């Protein structure tokens, strides 16, 4: 209970000072991570969390990811997809596969002793985007609206598209560690789980969306009930998929895509409850992430991991984005911005934790978790602290409105 009170107190303190802290690019994830590092460090820390109950912890982080993917999928602006279909198509259909390939090849160069499938899992862990650490950027009017729209669409779909690849690589890596020369069974099982997830997500998302839309149009539902109804959809899709043998967080992502059209006919705040709960749960996870950092640095760290992490959050994404956006009407500065603004966050944390659970310590689980921690920490610092300077740079480049120039 003390831990819960401390986390809530830290969150409340950040909320009270959020506007002033934003001037120094101190986001809520940065504040919670820093608090977690301070309060769980030392030989006798004030707080300590036992991750020994992996089964319960695994289920908890899966639910957090399921809710996050659902909200991301529902918040993807349909109009932006249509307007920027060429740019978004190149980012998701070209830059994303290239980024995964680059992350794998760089890992192969840095960690040649690790099995290939373990490095493939690592690539899917360090690549997914999470805009939460730099959420101020996509709401900052100083950044051109077009770039914010593209980031919103990419951020909403990127992690959901990587999820099936992560599951396939995990299945193959587990089979490889067990000494099975044939990966067919593992891959077939992963594909079956993905199929059940898609079916569960489509069923719950479409049916729930149709019922909520008809209920609201007929005056049968109250606004608060509509918010609860939307919140129940990712939980239902997760539970149904898990019962059928599918993957819960993939099902929740599919459910979000299927229910998104119906949300436009519901109250404007229908998604607000789900969004607030996701924010609260992910911030608690950031606090726990502070202890993970302490655990990884307790016995020192390897320079190769730090260098790989820095490359993973910079060059590994920037180069594919610039290459794939060549030939568009975006100037080089905007392409650089989109390439740089690829923060890693909760999705990478959850994928890394799931890899640590599903793969034994000597089978790459501990290695992936260690690299994930350093990568996410580097991303939080680099992307979080650079968001405000980038916004100021765009503000200086933007011409003054005519009415302001006349007033001068």
330 vs 137: which has the higher pLDDT: 330
In the predicted structure, residue 407 carries a pLDDT above the cut 80: no
300 vs 200: which has the higher pLDDT: 200
What is the reported pTM?
0.83
Cα–Cα separations (whole angstroms), residue 292 to 48, 183, 342, 364: 10, 32, 22, 17
Domains identified in the chain and CATH numbers: 27-396 (1.20.1530.20)
| Contact between residue 363 and residue 175 where contact means Cβ atoms under 8 Å apart | no
* The predicted structure's pLDDT at residue 322: 94
372 vs 398: which has the higher pLDDT: 372
Q: Which of 298, 178, 203 is nearest to 255 (CA)?
A: 203
- Using pLDDT thresholds of 50, 70 and 90, give the confidence band for residue 405: very low
* The predicted structure's pLDDT at residue 189: 76
pLDDT digits (tens, 9 = 90+) for 107-129: 999 999 998 889 999 999 999 98
Residue with tokens 């993917």: 69
* The predicted structure's pLDDT at residue 398: 64
Highest averaged pLDDT of the listed ranges 18-32, 262-276, 350-364:
262-276
């Amino acid at each position: 209970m003390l831990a819960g009170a401390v986390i809530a107190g830290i969150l409340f303190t950040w909320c009270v000072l959020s506007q002033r802290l934003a001037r120094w690019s101190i986001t809520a994830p940065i504040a919670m991570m820093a608090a977690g590092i301070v309060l769980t460090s030392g030989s006798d820390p004030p707080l300590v969390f036992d991750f020994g109950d992996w089964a319960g912890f695994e289920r908890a982080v899966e639910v957090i990811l399921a809710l996050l993917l659902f909200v991301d999928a529902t918040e993807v602006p349909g109009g932006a997809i249509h307007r920027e279909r060429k740019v978004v198509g190149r980012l998701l259909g070209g830059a994303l596969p290239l980024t995964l390939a680059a992350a794998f090849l760089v890992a192969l160069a840095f960690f040649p002793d690790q099995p290939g499938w373990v490095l493939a899992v690592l690539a899917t862990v360090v690549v997914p985007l999470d805009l939460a650490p730099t959420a101020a950027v996509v709401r900052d009017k100083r950044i051109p609206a077009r770039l914010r729209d593209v980031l919103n669409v990419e951020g909403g779909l990127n992690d959901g598209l990587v999820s099936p690849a992560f599951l396939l690589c995990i299945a193959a890596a587990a089979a490889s560690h067990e000494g099975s020369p044939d990966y067919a069974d593992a891959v077939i099982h992963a594909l079956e789980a993905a199929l059940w997830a898609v079916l569960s997500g489509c069923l719950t998302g479409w049916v729930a969306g149709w019922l909520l839309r008809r209920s609201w149009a007929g005056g049968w539902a109250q606004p608060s009930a509509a918010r609860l109804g939307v919140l129940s959809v990712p939980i239902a899709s997760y539970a149904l998929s898990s019962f059928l043998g599918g993957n819960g967080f993939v099902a929740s992502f599919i459910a979000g895509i299927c229910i998104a059209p119906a949300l436009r006919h519901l109250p404007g705040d229908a998604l607000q409850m789900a969004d607030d709960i996701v924010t609260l749960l992910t911030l608690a996870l950031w606090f726990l992430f502070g202890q993970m950092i302490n655990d990884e640095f307790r016995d020192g760290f390897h320079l190769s991991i730090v260098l790989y992490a820095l490359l993973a959050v910079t060059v590994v994404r920037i180069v594919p984005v610039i290459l794939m956006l060549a030939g568009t009407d975006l100037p080089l500065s905007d392409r650089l911005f989109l390439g740089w603004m690829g923060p890693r966050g909760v999705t990478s944390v959850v994928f890394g934790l799931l890899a640590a659970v599903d793969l034994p310590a000597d089978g790459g689980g501990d290695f992936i978790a260690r690299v994930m921690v350093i990568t996410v920490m580097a991303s939080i610092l680099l992307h979080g602290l650079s968001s405000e300077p980038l916004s100021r740079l765009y503000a200086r480049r933007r011409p003054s409105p005519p009415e302001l120039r006349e007033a001068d």
